[in-house]
C-alpha cells in the first residue's frame, strides 16, 4: 500500500491560467472556462512546448523552434536548427537548450543561436533516440585555465 496519501504539500500547487494543446498547431485555452484564446499554425507537428522567459517556445518535427507571444500566440521569431524532430527544449537560465535529430543547440531567450553541436556522425541512424541531459542547480563552475 502506498504512503503517498500521507504527503502534504507545504505550498499550494500553482497552475498556469492557460492550458496548451499541441498537434500541427498550438492552441491556448483558458484553464477556468476552456475558451480558446488563440491558435498558432506551426506548419509541422509540434513535438515540444516550453514556457520560459515570458515566451512560449515550440519545437517541431521539422527541426524548427518557434517563439510566441503568450497572450496572443503571435510569432516573435523562428529558428531552423538544421536538425530533424525537436526532442527536447530546456530552460537553462540564460539560454534555451534544444535537442534535435541533428544535434544539440543553445539559443538565447530571444532565439539567437549561441552554439550548435552536430551529433550526426555519432548516431548510426536518423531514427535513433535523441536526448539531452543537464545538471541543474550546481553552484560551482569548473576551473577554466
Separate counts of helices (H) and strands (E) for the chain: 0, 11
Lowest mean pLDDT among 11-20, 82-91, 119-128: 119-128
Q: What is the pLDDT of residue 25?
A: 92
Per-residue model confidence (pLDDT) at position 110: 84
Predicted pLDDT at 102: 74
Q: Give 131-140's long-range contacts (Cβ < 8 A, gap of 24+).
A: 131/87, 131/88, 131/99, 132/87, 132/88, 132/90, 132/97, 132/98, 132/99, 132/104, 134/90, 134/92, 134/97
Task: Return the C-alpha cell found at 3.
Answer: 504512503
pLDDT at 106 over 70: yes
State residue 57's pLDDT score.
94
Flag whether pLDDT at 3 surpasses 90: no
| CA 109 – CA 98 distance, rounded (Å) | 12
Decide if 36 contacts 29 (C-beta within 8 A): yes
- HSE-up (13 A, CA, CB side) for residue 31: 6
- Cα separation, 5 vs 10, in Å, equals 14
**pTM to 2 decimal places:** 0.75
Amino acid at each position: 500500500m502506498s504512503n503517498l496519501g500521507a504527503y502534504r504539500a507545504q505550498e499550494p500547487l500553482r497552475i498556469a491560467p492557460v492550458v496548451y494543446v499541441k498537434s500541427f498547431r498550438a492552441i491556448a485555452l483558458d484553464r477556468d472556462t476552456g475558451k480558446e484564446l488563440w491558435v498558432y499554425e506551426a506548419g509541422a507537428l509540434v513535438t515540444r512546448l516550453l514556457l520560459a522567459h515570458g515566451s512560449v517556445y515550440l519545437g517541431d518535427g521539422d527541426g524548427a523552434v518557434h517563439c510566441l507571444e503568450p497572450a496572443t500566440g503571435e510569432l516573435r521569431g523562428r529558428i531552423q536548427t538544421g536538425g530533424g524532430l525537436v526532442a527536447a527544449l530546456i530552460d537553462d537560465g540564460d539560454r534555451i537548450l534544444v535537442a534535435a535529430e541533428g544535434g544539440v543547440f543553445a539559443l538565447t531567450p530571444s532565439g539567437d543561436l549561441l552554439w550548435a553541436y552536430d551529433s550526426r556522425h555519432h548516431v548510426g541512424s536518423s531514427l535513433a533516440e535523441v536526448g539531452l541531459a543537464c545538471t541543474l542547480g550546481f553552484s560551482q563552475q569548473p576551473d577554466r585555465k
